[in-house]
Each structure stands twice: as structure tokens, then as C-alpha cells.
Amino acid sequence: MDQIKIAIVGWGSVSALGAEKKDIWTNYLTPQHCFSRKEFPMGNEWVAVLDKKSAQLVASVAEENPKYRQLDPTAWYAMVASRIAVEQAGWQNDDSIGINLGSSRGATEAFEKYHTQFIDSGEQNTDTLSSPTTTLGNIASWVGVDLGSHGPQISHSITCSTALHAILNAVAWLKSGLSDKFLAGGSEAPLTPFTLAQMKALKVYANGITDFPCQSMNLLKTRNSMILGEGAAVFALQREAESALAYITGIGYGTEIIKHGASISENATCQQQAMRMAIKSHDPESIDAIVLHSPGTVKGDESEIKAIEAVFGNYKPLLTSNKWKIGHTFGASGSLSMEMAILMLQHNQFIQPPYLPQQEIKKPLKKILVNAVGFGGNAVSILIER
């Protein structure tokens, strides 16, 4: 059973990088970030909003069906990404697809809207749709409605490792034989006043203006530099397939006892557990690169680097992250990091954070490890291979 390889046969995404594969890759090759300034009640802040093409696709979906108009953007993003993934996989006429799509914060915009309405006008004026459109399960279930699928439909929230937990779950379903095809990933639309206020209260949000406001992986920084982004990425997965774009050949997870709800241990024990499990049947020196979670916080970035050093010892895989480019998309971040890994494998080209020292590329890219970790001391690592 463990020898069964899980094929990635399609994927779709919307983010600040774009919605079309060629545009996403072109934007990765451009050494500028995708951040813009947006006005919030607490001031003007850096964020990463959907690019024009992604926004157009989302707006089109939101307006095409009266039932969709009341949904939260997290559902719209997931629907667009899922449609793209299904089309690329050639699954348009399959009604048995399993779905596991999660979100860290869920229906953020809708919840804040309805809660403000409740506070301002009283319980008697609460919208009847405030419950069904803010439940976490509505993301996967509405994607199922949109695709006409009758397979299992699962939503969950495991903070910032949510999307990679969805991949873990999909792999388990596929290897067990309980499902033949699965859509898995994450969606997040966190660019709202209350969400931003929470990040600023934690004192993790970027407050400096530089050429690269989010200094992900920069261990020389002296202050936190996390920036919020929005987006979704969804993968079409099945057992071994000739049409595979890449294979998932290792999965790992880990948890640790934490002292604070937002803390992680100095050496990221949970990430060490996840990485060791994901590469247990592989020579560590065969891992060519790692896409780090690396949110741009001082302690978060330091602990992940220490975890990598503990797992790989003297061997140093190439290290990269996309949060300097598109910000932290919370529950969707792991899936967007997987997208980056697949694109690097397809193009055999490593994306180097431009503000860090250049890393020496010694061999073709064949295996890339993708990390995610979230509040609560939970981590996931997924090994992607050509």
C-alpha cells in the first residue's frame, strides 16, 4: 500500500500571482513582490490582493448564479480554482470526485459583515443566511454543488497547515481505495479589518517600508514582517497516472506541546517530525529543495531553519518561500507553496528570494519538500517529485 504513488494530474489557483499557469510562472520570475497598499480603519497597510485576471474570474462566478451571490469569497475562490483543476485533469464529466477544501479562518468577510449587522441592529435583524454561509463546511459543499459531484465533501480548519492537511487526507482516501479521484487544497480571504487587527495585536504584522516588506527567511531581521495575502489553490489527485504533472512520494505530520496559542518551539519539533516522516524512505541528500512555511516572523523563520538543520545535518537543500512575494494566505498557504514547487519542477528552475544570498544550484530539480505549520503546534510536510 505504501508503494502507491499519488499523481497530481491538475491544479488551479487564484492569487496575487494570477490564475493562468504562464502568468504565475512569469510573476515568479519577476524579482518584485505582489503587495499593494490598502486602507483599513487602523491605517494604510501592505497586503497581497488577487491579480486582475483572478478577480475577474471570481466576480464572474459570484454573479453567474443567484445562489452564489451570498457566499463568502473563500467559497468563490475555491470554486474557481476547482474548476481549473478539474478541467486540466479532464474530470468534467465525473460526478464521484472527493473534495477536501479547508480554510484557516473560514468565511471571514461574511462573518464580519453579519456580526457587524447583529451588533448594529440587534438580533431581530440578523440575516437568515448568516449561519449557512459562514459554516466552515460550505467551502467544500458549494464546490461539490458547482461541480455536480456526489463524492465525499470535507472541510476543516487546522490553522495555517490546513491545505496540506487536506492533501494528507486525500492521499489516505486514495491509498485506501475508498475514492479514485480527489480535489484537495485550501482557500482564504483574510483581508478584512478584524483579521488584520488580530495580526497587529499579535505584533507580527510588517510595519517597515522596504523594497521587500515581508522578509521571509531573512534571519538578520530584527522585527516581524508578516503580510496578509488572499487566494486559493486546489489539486486534482489520483493514483498513478500517465498524465501526472508530478507525484506525491512522501507525506509527514507532527505536533508538539506548546506554551502559548501562537507559539512554536525554538527548534520547531513538530516540523522536524513532519519532515522526517515525509522523507523517511528517501535519502535526505536526494531532496533538492524545500519550500518553507517561513511567514516572515522572527521566531517562526528562525525555528524552521533550525528544524531543517536538525533533519538534514551538514547537507543543505536549496531553500525558498513565496511569502515574500504573495504574503501569508493562512489556510491556503501550503497549497500555494505546492504550486510553486510543481512549477519549479516543471521548469527545472529554482526561485531564489532576491534579497538573500544566492544559493548554488548543483543539480536538476527532482524532489522538493513543501512545509506548512500553524498555530497549535501542528505541521505538515509533502514531498513532490518529478
Beta-carbon neighbour count of residue 232 at 10 Å?
36
Backbone angles phi, psi at 367, to 5 degrees: -130, 125
Q: Which of 227, 231, 198, 201 is nearest to 214 (CA)?
A: 227
**CA dihedral over 291, 30, 243, 93, signed as positive or negative:** positive
pLDDT for position 2: 58
Return the minimum-mean-pLDDT range out of 27-31, 116-120, 271-275.
Answer: 116-120
Beta-carbon neighbour count of residue 22 at 10 Å?
8
Ramachandran sector of residue 250 (left: φ over 0; alpha: ψ -120 to 50; beta: rest): beta
Could you read off the pLDDT of 66-92 as tens digits, one per residue? Answer: 999 999 999 999 999 999 999 999 999
Give, in order, the Cα–Cα distances in Å from 117 to each of 130, 133, 219: 10, 15, 43
Could you read off the pLDDT of 172-223 as tens digits, one per residue? Answer: 999 999 999 999 999 999 999 999 999 999 999 998 778 999 999 999 999 9
Residue 258 in this model has a pLDDT that exceeds 80 = no
pLDDT for position 1: 42
Q: Which of 1, 8, 383 is nearest to 175 (CA)?
A: 1
pLDDT for position 262: 55
To the nearest whole number, what is the mean pLDDT of the chain?
A: 94
Radius of gyration of the chain (CA): 20
CA distance 224 to 327: 13
Mean pLDDT confidence for 34-62: 96
Mean pLDDT confidence for 248-267: 81
Count of residues making up the chain: 386
CATH of span 6-385: 3.40.47.10
In the structure grid, which three cell numbers stand for residue 269, read together?
519539533
Mean pLDDT confidence for 161-177: 97
Residue 3 in this model has a pLDDT that exceeds 80 = no
CB contact at 8 A, 323 and 15: no
Single-letter amino acid, residue 329: T
CA 234 to chain centre: 9
First to last CA, the chain: 20
Residue 373 in this model has a pLDDT that exceeds 50 = yes
